Amino acid sequence: MSLADALDVASLVFLALGALLSLAAGVGLARFPDPLSRMHAATKPQIAGLLFVLIAVGLQSEQWGTVAMLFPILLFQMLTAPVSAHMVGRAAYRTKHLRRDLLVIDELSDAVDRAQRERASGEKRT
């Protein structure tokens, strides 16, 4: 088996891993009950899947320029995924798109309640 064959097999393995993670993300997206949980499925396996797929491309490419171009792709996804996850998470929480019965504990609602109580008592006093 030559080096090229070995690289082919290696990149195929990485491709398969990436594809399986993508599939799991899709299943999670379809199966999880509320937007917050779906967001989990859409971010993490997706990023690792992309990482694996890009490794597969990198193994196949002969020029350094190509490999250099893979980094910004991964970087943009890695930097933006948490941002969009946070934006969606915040919007989902504020518009109450979440299944409370599946939460073990919700310390944010405690904090919101406390803030509201404080504001109410403050208004009474003044």
Dihedral sign (CA 89, 95, 98, 100): positive
- Give yes or no for residue 6 binding other proteins (CB under 8 A): no
Whose Cβ is closer to other proteins: residue 64's or residue 124's?
A: 64
Which residues are CB-neighbours of 116 under 8 A, at least 6 positions away?
none
> In this structure, what DSSP letter does residue 102 have?
G
Q: Which of residues 94-113 bind other proteins (CB under 8 A)?
A: 94-97, 102-109, 111
The verdict on 3 binding other proteins (CB under 8 A) reads no
Is residue 86 within the footprint of other proteins (CB under 8 A)? yes
Q: Which of 1, 2, 30, 124 binds other proteins (CB under 8 A)?
A: 30
